[in-house]
């Protein structure tokens, strides 16, 4: 590949991954409002209106996201008089820049083989001698780069709280630093079992291993749960939003920030949700992989029996891999939004207890169990290995059936008419109903 082709391919990949991350971050602000309204039976975002003559466009509340962006750019850039000007201005940059940098090592799809290398890469598991990698920067250190860059978020929150010259900001910065450091330990150890299973720290190789065997959620179920919980805590969102708790800290370490500086903190938090979802997808959910789909087409087999095989264009399969990766990431972002609107906030002592007394011991237990399992498989005979291979292929069938079930339920939900019904929740509502209900009178101005 020439230098010009390499630069062009890198530019395209960089645009795709950053464009997706930025737009998903913006759409998640809308999704929080819209999904929260649906879950709590509220109206939701509907006030932002674009009027064209007599036509009013609300676009499902999407205009609220555009209004937010305009508001951030036009608000006064207030700086506290006694703040440390250098650190105060540096903190938002340190919040947003590492999140963008993380996307460079996350692969969107498998390697796109060049024309001269196609003869050695038509089947799953084959080696492509030359091609375009799915990541912007496919580093050998892989996931270790992610840990190194993600740790910079601690610095951002800590110096933002200290440099603002505000007691609420300082308390929020201290909470953020202790929370993120605590859960970085758990999030790192939760992946050690995956490293042992995959035998590599390169993210691309992890995804290929899952395509050839089974997705990580099947071989490391406890690791998946631990990583997911720790990732939600790292993003500092409900139920782990102690550093920003409005009820006691106003807005935590972001209290003294306004305008685009606050917007950078705000947007970085949503982009952290996107990047954590990307990592969940590539490490535990097969990345760009789908059951029975390979770089050369569809291959449906069970053991040594070939049931169906269909050759498809290699470029089309690579493009499908990109769509699959982005689709899985969107699904995980929506799932995190469900968590955000479903659980109450932890107390601070509960937060620390969960990280150090529950997640950390479970992560160490997972490492021990993984090591014992690997040694047992290596010392077992070929019949055990063959049985595990059949079970791994069976997980692909389970995924197909589960995806089909979800698709049927989704379309049934879309086309089913639902009526409103009143459901009393809470002791006060039940007591009022027992006494004959409440009186409805005209609203007074």
Q: How many CA atoms lie within 13 A of 174 on its CB side?
A: 8
pLDDT band at 162 (very low <50, low <70, confident <90, very high): confident
How much of the chain exceeds pLDDT 90, in percent? 13
Stated as kind and residue range, the H or E segment containing 190 is helix 167-190
What angle is formed at CA 259 by the lines to CA 256 and CA 264, rounded to 5 degrees?
A: 85
Tokens of 100: 């963008």
- pLDDT for 420 equals 64
Cα gap 367→189, rounded to integer Å: 8
Angle CA 398–399–404, to nearest 5: 100
Structure tokens, 368 = 């021990």
Number of neighbouring beta carbons within 10 Å of residue 148: 12
CA separation for the pair 295, 314 (Å, rounded): 6
Is the model's pLDDT at 366 over the cut of 90? yes
In this prediction, residue 121 carries a pLDDT of: 39
pLDDT digits (tens, 9 = 90+) for 83-126: 888 888 888 888 888 888 888 889 888 888 766 555 443 344 44
**Range with lowest mean pLDDT among 38-52, 97-111, 283-297:** 38-52
* Nearest to 283, CA basis, from 210, 184, 374: 210
Helix (H) or strand (E) holding 261: helix 259-284
Burial 75-112 (b: 16+ CB within 10 A, else e): eeeebbeebeeebbebbbebbbebbbbbbbbbbbbbbb
Reported as a single tens digit per residue, the pLDDT across 226-248 is: 999 999 888 888 888 888 877 77
Q: Note the pLDDT tens digit of each residue in 312-332.
A: 787 888 888 889 999 999 999
In 3D space, the residue among 177, 173, 174, 276 whose CA is nearest the CA of residue 229 turns out to be: 276
Q: Which two tokens stand for residue 399?
A: 């995924």
> Would you say residue 445 has pLDDT above 50?
no
Mean pLDDT rounded to a whole number for the chain: 82
H, E, C per residue of 28-85: HHHHHHHHHHHHHCCCCCCCCCEEECCEEECHHHCHHHHHHHHHHHHCCCCCCCCCCH
Predicted local distance difference test score (pLDDT) of residue 437: 66
Q: What's the pTM?
A: 0.84
Q: How many beta carbons lie within 10 A of that of residue 410, not counting itself? A: 10
Q: What pLDDT, on the 0 to 100 scale, is given for residue 34?
A: 85
CA 14 to mean position of chain CA atoms: 19
Alpha carbon distance, N-terminus to C-terminus of the chain: 73
- Quick check: 397 pLDDT over 50? yes
- Spatial separation of the C-alpha atoms in residues 231 and 336, rounded to whole Å: 10
Q: Which residues contact 284 (CB under 8 A, 6 or more apart)?
A: 194, 215, 216, 217, 220, 223, 224, 227
């Amino acid at each position: 590949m020439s230098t010009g082709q390499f630069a062009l391919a890198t530019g395209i990949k960089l645009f795709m991954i950053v464009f997706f991350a930025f737009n998903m971050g913006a759409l998640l602000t809308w999704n929080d409002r819209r999904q929260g309204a649906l879950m709590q039976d509220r109206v939701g975002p509907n006030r932002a209106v674009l009027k064209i003559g007599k036509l009013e466009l609300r676009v499902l509340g999407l205009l609220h996201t555009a209004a937010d962006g305009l508001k951030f750019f036009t608000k006064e850039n207030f700086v506290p008089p006694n703040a440390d000007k250098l650190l105060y201005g540096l903190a938002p940059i340190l919040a947003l820049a590492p999140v963008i940098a993380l996307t460079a090592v996350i692969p969107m799809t498998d390697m796109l083989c060049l024309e001269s290398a196609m003869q050695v890469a038509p089947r799953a598991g084959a080696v492509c001698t030359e091609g375009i990698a799915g990541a912007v920067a496919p580093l050998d250190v892989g996931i270790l780069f992610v840990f190194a860059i993600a740790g910079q978020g601690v610095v951002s929150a800590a110096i933002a709280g200290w440099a603002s010259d505000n007691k609420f900001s300082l308390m929020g910065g201290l909470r953020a630093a202790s929370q993120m450091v605590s859960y970085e330990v758990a999030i790192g150890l939760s992946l050690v079992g995956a490293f042992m299973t995959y035998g590599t720290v390169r993210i691309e190789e992890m995804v290929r291993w899952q395509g050839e065997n089974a997705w990580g959620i099947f071989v490391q179920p406890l690791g998946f749960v631990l990583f997911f919980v720790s990732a939600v805590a790292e993003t500092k969102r409900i139920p782990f939003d102690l550093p920003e708790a409005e009820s006691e800290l106003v807005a935590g370490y972001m209290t003294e920030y306004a305008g685009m500086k606050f917007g950078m903190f705000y947007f970085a938090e949503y982009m952290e949700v996107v990047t954590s979802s990307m990592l969940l997808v590539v490490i535990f959910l097969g990345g760009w992989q789908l059951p029975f789909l390979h770089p050369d087409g569809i291959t449906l087999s069970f053991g040594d029996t070939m049931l169906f095989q269909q050759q498809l264009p290699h470029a089309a399969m690579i493009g499908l891999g990109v769509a699959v990766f982005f689709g899985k990431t969107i699904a995980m972002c929506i799932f995190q939004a469900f968590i955000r609107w479903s659980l109450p906030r932890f107390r601070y002592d509960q937060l620390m207890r969960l990280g150090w007394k529950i997640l950390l011991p479970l992560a160490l237990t997972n490492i021990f169990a993984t090591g014992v399992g690997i040694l047992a498989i290596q010392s077992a005979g070929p019949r055990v290995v063959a049985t595990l291979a059949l079970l791994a292929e069976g997980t692909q069938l389970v995924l197909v059936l589960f995806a089909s079930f979800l698709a049927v339920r989704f379309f049934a939900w879309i086309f089913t008419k639902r009526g409103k019904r009143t459901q009393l929740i809470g002791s006060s509502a039940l007591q009022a109903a027992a006494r004959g209900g409440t009186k409805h009178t005209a609203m007074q101005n």
